[in-house]
Amino acid sequence: SNTTPALFFLTGIPGLEAMHCWISIPFSTAFAIALLGNSTLLYVIKTEPSLHKPMFYFLSMLAVTDLVLSLTTMPKMLSIFWFNAQAIPFKACLVQMFLLHSFCIIESAVLLAMAFDRYVAVCNPLRYNSILTSSLIVKIGLLALLRALGLMLPLPFLLRRLPYCGSHVISHCYCEHMAVVKLACADTRVNNIYGILVTFFIGGLDLLSIGHSYVRILRTVFSLATREEKLKAFGTCLDHICAILVFYIPAILSSVIHRFGHCIAPHVHILMANLYLLLPPVMNPIVYGIKTKQIRERV
């Protein structure tokens, strides 16, 4: 039949089905840490007047994004591990995929905005408050949201037009665009090309912009007179650098393994894809909690 299927079935981690109960322990622990850490971060920033600054407004956006990413994927993933609840309605699958990819794009945009924040703080400290006004921060947040929604809105429609006349089993823990595309029994070149273009546009543009900001920051840091001034200026960027590495390194590794690691076992692909979604929501509140004195003291 060429009709749209009522259900898809998520396998979890292929080849490790017998270990799902054990695998659920670190996953559920990480989920709890992500929920607690990001909620605490938002509460402390809201209730601590000294944190009502542009840098921490961007950090709040990052925490909200991480919470949505965790809540979009982890409940269904844990239900597969605990109850073998593999079925997911087709429309729910599309919604999960849309939210997942949209908020990954938003997270990339927030990290770019935080790089701009650090650039202004280090290179133009006297103009920091006049440049990063509340209205500009709101505009940046809205632009990040609109960019993600605009880029991801075509995906559900591109997937709905395809016939799924073969297997309805997705070899993954969640509905990811390319995993769903592989089930279609029709020409999927449009979906493939669109997915590649969005990936290169977001990853390439955002990473190049972040890299450009840090080149300018490093020039300013190395021009400072004393070693203490250099360390202080670089220290203001350390937590953001950690957040960038935690987000982009698993994403790049997962993409490389997916496209070129044909001899690597399927469960390694899936575990890397899960790490890409799980690590940033867990690590970001820990890194910023340790690095930021006001947050550390309140917690």
CATH of the domain at 219: 1.20.1070.10
Rounded-to-integer distance, Cα 260 and Cα 238, Å = 32
- Judge whether 13 lies within some domain: yes
| Cβ(206)–Cβ(111) below 8 Å | yes
Instruction: Give me the mean pLDDT over the 268-282 stretch.
Output: 88
- Judge whether 2 lies within some domain: no
- Judge whether 205 lies within some domain: yes
| Cβ(256)–Cβ(42) below 8 Å | no
Single-letter residue type at 208: L
**Domain span including residue 257:** 7-297
119: pLDDT confidence band, cut at 50, 70 and 90?
very high
- Per-chain mean pLDDT for the chain: 90
Cβ neighbourhood burial of 72 (10 Å; 0-12, 13-18, 19+) = buried
- Judge whether 119 lies within some domain: yes
How many Cβ atoms are within 10 Å of 207's Cβ, its own excluded?
A: 16
Instruction: Give me the mean pLDDT over the 62-67 stretch.
Output: 96
| Cβ(172)–Cβ(270) below 8 Å | yes
- pLDDT-wise least confident of 83-97, 126-140, 271-285: 271-285
Residues paired with 89 in a beta bridge = 7
Rounded-to-integer distance, Cα 266 and Cα 284, Å = 28
Q: What pLDDT is recorded for position 259?
A: 62
- Judge whether 19 lies within some domain: yes
The total number of structural domains that make up the chain: 1
pLDDT in tens, 166-200: 889 998 999 999 889 989 988 899 998 998 899 88
pLDDT of residue 217 exceeding 50:
yes
Give me the sheet containing 87-89, strands edge to edge: 87-89, 7-10, 169-170
- Judge whether 1 lies within some domain: no
Residue-wise burial string across 27-56, b where 16 or more C-beta atoms lie within 10 A, e elsewhere: beebbebbbebbebbbebbeeeeebebbbb
Q: What pLDDT is recorded for position 226?
A: 79
Q: What pLDDT is recorded for position 1?
A: 47
